[in-house]
Structure 1
Amino acid sequence: MAAVSHQQVRGRPAHPPGITSLAYTPDGKRLITAGSNDVIRVYATGSTGEPRNIDNCPDNNLAVAATNDFFIAGSEDGSVSMYSLETCSFDKLLTRCPVPIRDLAISPDGQWAAVASDDTEVKIVDTRDMTNVLFLREQPKPVKHVTFHPSGSYIAASCTDGIIYVYSMTKTIPELVKKLDGIIRPLETDVEASACAIWHPDGRALAAPTVTRDVQVLSRNEWEKQRAFSGGHMGDITALAWSPNGALLATAGKDRKILLWETKTQKIVARYDYADVTKLVWHSHENIVSFTTSDGELFIYEDFVAGNNANLLEDALHPAPFIHDPLAETSGNARKGLTNGLKDSDQGYGRRRGSLDSLDDILGPDMDLGGDDFVEDDDGAGYADGRNINGKRTNGHLDDLDILDGKRRATSQSWQPNTHQSFQPGSTPWRGNRRYLCLNLTGFAWTVDQDTHHTVTVEFYDREYHRDFHFTDPYLYDKACLNENGTLFSCPPANGNSAMIFYRPHETWTARADWRTELPNGEDITAISLSDSYVTVTTTANYVRVFTLFGTPFKVYRQKSSPTVTCASWRDYILTMGNGPVGADGWTTLLYTIENIKRDEICQSEDIVALSEGASIKSVFFSDNGDPCIYDSTGVLLVLQHWRTPGQARWVPMLDTKLLERLVGGRKEETYWPVAVAQDKFHCIILKGGDQYPYFPKPLLSEFDFKIPCSTATALEDSEEPLVNEGSKLEETYVRSSLMLSLLEDLVVATNATHSQRADLSRRETEVDKALLQLLNVECRGGEDRGMKALEIVSLMKDRNGKMIELAGKIADRFGRTVLKEKIEELAEKRLMGTEDDGL
């Protein structure tokens, strides 16, 4: 869209030449100006009459900020005065500094006033009680600009050292949460060039002028560079402001230009010729922009946004210009959907009130939104609802923000179930301009958005066996799988092209063996998986498409449970998940099917994925021994036992990460990103600081031993009885060893077992009996009254040759348990004769 120029609007003499400040009241009814004389002017919006003057104010007022009831002005003599808008008169002296005041900001609720001066500290003064003062003291030099987050939870302070200091206001004492270096340039407090960091109205980002005379946007969650408004000004930027709904950005510069930018495209849509602009503000709901100049003139520009661009001001709140919007991108691993036509909160990581990205924080905690049908956003991972089946947010999410300008959409009366959204195991959402496509024990693949194309990198842990590779990606791949044989990619349909899969083997004995296959038009890919034998693709048409490793279509069928959610594979087996019947809570039941593709056999058909209430799947994968595993949002790792026998499968918890000893007593605050189950360990990435996904640089892998949740770690440590503590640990060892033995027995029976597998089977049987012997030893030490349980423990032994039961008798004899020893000998005799019954 080409930028247009406009006719000049005549200025109004407001103050003598010098720095002139202005501020609208939040309701837009009044405009206050202050300048280099001792008069402050109050203009009524829409009135052509003279403004009301407040005389005998301190000279040289350099900053002004307003609420609907009062405004404050800061002068060169260091005083900050409060004035009543009802009487247009002086109310009280709010605070005083020994040096000139440079900038003022008032929190959205009007309680706090931030005062920046030529002193190094910033004062945060309670407007109701001037004796209640907080301080921002982390910056080493004076602060030139201060701005409040739309929720009042943060303050951004632009320091003259060229760093933006971001403080959290959620605690009793302001806490520095981030120092943003390399964005603004060092500027003295008295120069006209601006270094102000302004918050986008949606609260998720701030923008600031850069050394290159651009405006750089930074995300609040990750503090990373996002889109930039560049190539506009030929001189230093002196003022900038978002439109009330964030759809437009206005900037003024020393090149005698005011530029109007569209936020979504970062394109200039209009140019205005005005020189020496020092301050610029938007009206809260009218198409009016007012600005002042160093000549002391005030310009009230009605119909500032002309033509079709004016429609942008009528829209709901626009999102900040992210490279990849975290509200639009997700790994899809959370349960999301609609309840009675209304979007529910993100339950993939537990229900909670909106984060600082949500409307709760934008409007403030006291805003009554009219009931439980208010939309909640979740960042945190957490990401807002309203995505399509590919995990990407539709345009409908903008409608929910109409609440901010007093509008409210009519809610649908038709009931709709809550469905599990599709996701790709091992992938992460966009964070800045990069994301992981795949993370496992073989290696990892990630992509970087270069605007016109992506660049994909694949790295391996074993670089002696595999070589890393890197390529330019014009297809914009968004999913990947990686194993010892090759790498599989897929991309969504775009620019009239169909969705496509691409397989690249690591090594071949022919010249070229990689291949691409396009899916039918209108069909998008929801998940992909790669095994040693097959490529599996699930789609939005609820098809499961299976290919050989050389691209031959092997099988196509429609999944019974729909919409599809995800898939995983191992050797000849594939596991698919989809949405099933609706449960009592309004959520669809998550169902899975496991099939042997080669033998065309169904192992488990549309069985239920066992999840606790409110939990969701974070990842699904096969272990190195080929057992299906899931990791849910509550931090529990589960394995599917007896899955090869139809109707016998059950999900067994192998580890509850919330019960890890490292977390006992709140010593650490961390979560875990699942990677794999291998070598009898859970391999994961430790996430700290509230992160929900791993990020760059390449994260380190950690591993944890399995520990079936039989009793909590806290109970074990606090136990006053050593025998109870030791016995509980041994009981967990027995249950875990029995589970691992069962999984191996199923594998040996179902496959052509190797010698090492059979030897491992014998070893695991011994481990089970060993745990029981140790548990028997604890019981015998506990006293004669534990004899019944001791005999029960002996009866649980596998003991094929009687050796373990013989050792059990020796343990009883050592502790003088004569009766128990006789019972054990009777049990051994019955086993030898094959007459042992189920009871004791």
Structure 2
Amino acid sequence: MPSIVDKSVFEYGGKTLVAVTPDYSTLCVASKNGLAKLLQLDKPEEEPEVLEISRNLNSLKCDASEGYLITTLNGDAFRLDPKSQSDKLLGRSALPLRDGCIIHFGKTAVLGGDDLELLVIDLEEETLRKSSIKVDEQISQMSYAPQTNLLSISFINGKVQFFSVSSTRPHKVHELTGYIAANTYRSVLNDESSADTLNASGVNVGGDSLDEATEQISDPEFCDENRICTRVSWHPNGLYFALPCADCTIKIFNIKGYALTKTLKDSVVSVAKLIDLQFDPLTGSYIASVDINNNLLIWNWHTSEIVYRKSFKHKITNFVWRGQADNKTLDIILGTWTGDIIHIKGAVEAVLATNADGDSKAREQQQQKQQHNGLFVDSDLDDSEVDGSPANADVQAEKSDSEDIFAPNADEGKRRYPFENDDGFIDDDDGAGYVSHKKGRQNSPNIQMTTQVSNAMVSQYPSFRYKPVSQGATPFGRGGRRYMTMNNVGYVSVVKNNEQNSVTVSFFDIGRFREYHFEDLFGYDVCSLNEEGTLLGQSKTGMLHYRSHKMIHSNWTKVVPLAQGERITSIAATPSRIFVGTSHGYMRIFNQHGLPLAVEKVSPVVALTAHDYKVFAVHYSPYHGISYSLFELSPAGSKYYQRECPLPISLPQLHLTSEDNGDKQFTKFNPLGLKSLFFSAYGDPCLFGSDNVLLILSKWRSPSESRWLPVLDADMELWKMSGGKNDTQVHVWPLGLNYDTLNCILVKGKTIWPEFPLPLPSEMEMRIPILVKSRIAEEEEKRKSKAEDTIEDGTSDGADEGKQNEEIVIPPTMAAEEELLRSKVLSDLLKDSIENDGEIFGNENEILNSLNWSYDKALLRLFAGACSEQNMELATSLVKEIKQDKALIAATKIAERAELPVLVKKINETREARFEEQIK
């Protein structure tokens, strides 16, 4: 039976708001009069900590880092830090700020109010870097769903807009109109004396007398317009949300299509507008509301049943849910306008979420059926068995980084999942048993390590373990979030929840694609994204699930067979083909609808990427090391371009980089250290490894002519951009190659992979790595010393300080050599593409002519340098490399100015010889 405790926190009364920390241990009670108290809920006997805050607060939020965000009617926003017992001013507005949110686990603050803009503040920057987004109407309230990275903003005109905050700049993805009340705040006197006008009794009213005569509040802010709630309430899995509607009902929506799922309406008490609305934070089975008449209702929203009802004499401001230590019982704590708080202990007990229609019986039957078929089996290998097996000294299968989502201990037996009725997922409803049963634990049949491998090699490289690897994927980071895949099209992110995951598919081109979300009941850990759809896979169960971006009926799910100890290591999808590789070397190929087309046995697959009908596969075997294959399966037939050829990369050597924990963590997640592999815009395979060098496969259609070319050293480019600083804590995360430009994410911080929010993509031009840092640094010092000699004595120190961060200038000779080689590489790649595939974008021949001219211009710059040094032999060799006749004419003029008649004669002879060849 619930018990009610009414506690006076501020004897002088006043508007009082409450917020609770994510671990439910500390309750922040903040007063409009400028004080806040931190109550230890687990230790009620302790004296609360008292903090001084700004007056006239109108919103109070607690974030994941247990800090508090406060907005005020004065237009100020503060971050209250309990540890330092101080509040930091985040931003200031000329008009009142109505609400705010802390997003991205304490990294960013979002504020909104009457000034027609959404203010975004980077809390990790010391300067609190701010940006703003113009909006069409005044903001009333806002809320944030961390699972789906959606920010909901309610406006005073009754509109609700949803913004994706997956990247550093929010963008609108949807709008709902006609649901919430159009409500304008009533302005109040904004001065310190307003607090003295309160007629707030400090009387404690016992639980038995809470239904007695109501209190009279004379605070000028106290009115219906300033109490009405328009804020979106988010389900804990982020896939549902509720709106307090203008017709005094609660409407619950599914984030999939923003479709209305259910409407809740009390048939007993007369309808009234709501002042607060929240889902319970444990399972989301309950939703609580308080109306303007101070009536509390708790619904089981799946069954539309009211499970708790209470009316209060106190005027309520807001409330919070609080989970007890048993992680089952839920309390509700309410703030009031009189300085009191009301604590309802044991209001409800959390129950397993049912489906939106409340059909718990069907749900239970589905669970029993899935458990019977053993769809979600534990790993056939655990770490202790792998490590203790002599047959797996080098090649081992290890549980994935996402494997412990649902079962922390593999020995606890079969995992159990709550399932929703979803047509997109597999259902063995005919009992055919095509879902494999759980297998007994046995030693892995993985291949034994060859005895010819030396002990030195074993000690130098870590034992290799096959992991699920996706293009551009990252490990789990803060808040149980990671990117499952990332490329030029967009990215797929996943957030761990208690019983399932929330998956968000986002795109860089928001004008062409729309971000969407869905619930992952199966623990998918491999993923591939293209312009048509998303392919997900579960590495241990063999389940594949394809979701089209636009056509719902094109979704399909299937299971591929896996032997004991075998796992899916990588998947790749194009609009035409789907490729699946495993740790036992099975390569399975399907069409875009899941129809199997081919099965092939190759060396164990580590990573895959695909383009049209082609797939680029990376293999690892203890016998043959790291190799790659490139083949095509088109309607015209199948063809191998490269078959398990040596790949010029090595396993990451952890002991050599022991000081870098980021590299260690990533290598544990991705055993080859591959940050990404992809096809360029012209269909050439590319690879970006742990050494941060971009490799591209040239002339791959001919096995005898193919070669891997290093076309970009990202570390060198960052060094140049930073003015020669070696420790910049900036890293490059690749997305794709568009002709001569690498699309990438510049990551700032200790981790080498991007976290949340995702920075906007950057571009890095291709530069062949032939430059030497020491020589460039010497030349840069000489250049700076010459510049200092010419500077007048009155030059300010600030100007010198700014120049230290300028990008390093490459000496002309070195720059010409690099441009010469780059033009040649790009020209060869483009020629090969035109000869075999024709023009793809329609301007390839123009680009080729431009490359030829760039090649000759680089030669002319080198030729001019050789002439100035009177180096006849070098100048003559350069003339032989010049391709175009107009460049030879320019070389003649350069030689004449240098007064080198012999060289002029040789150039003319070269021109005549080429002319005669053309005539023949």
TM-score by length of 2: 0.45
Higher relative contact order (CA 8 A, sep 6+): 2
* Larger helix proportion of the pair: 2
